[in-house]
Homo-oligomer: A and B are copies of this chain.
């Protein structure tokens, strides 16, 4: 199995609210809006689907996930500590309009990074992170 992730499929309880968050607050542009909503993230897709449809497709129970920790977080890395602060400040100031919430202010981590967290309207944890050990190329992709 080749070493890649093609699509991260994320369930939502309210597609219109999810789209307002991604497109309104984050400023993203969807690649597809029929059935699922897909955002192209450079080589892979973030696909948003209604919880019931995603669970059924995977042949799993259809209940929405519980609040709190869900076994994963999503990290959006940026090129400096200043960019971490700027993005978390945006979420703190304007996030409530879109159902997003700052849950952890940025702190310097023991391993040398600088990051904080917010939750999206479905309660998923997003980390905004500056990681000096994983530099980004011009397109914002991690280069090794």
Given A35-B111, A142-B44, A144-B31, A6 and B71 touching (CB < 8 A)? Answer: no
Question: A27 to chain B: which residues have CB within 8 Å?
Answer: 1
Determine whether A16 belongs to the interface, using a CB cutoff of 8 Å to chain B. no
CB < 8 Å neighbour of A75 from B5, B104, B140: B5
Q: Mark A73-85, 1 if CB is under 8 A from B, else 0.
A: 1111100000000
User: Dominant SS at the A interface?
Assistant: loop
* Interface residue total, chain A, C-beta cutoff 8 A: 70
A43, A64, A127: which has the most chain B beta carbons within 10 Å?
A43
Question: A9 to chain B: which residues have CB within 8 Å?
Answer: 72-75, 127
Interface residues of A in 55-74 (CB under 8 A from B): 55, 57-66, 68-74
Chain A residues close to B by CB (< 8 Å) = 1-11, 25-29, 31, 35, 39-47, 51, 54-55, 57-66, 68-77, 87, 90, 103-104, 109, 111, 117, 122, 124-125, 127, 129, 134, 136, 139-144
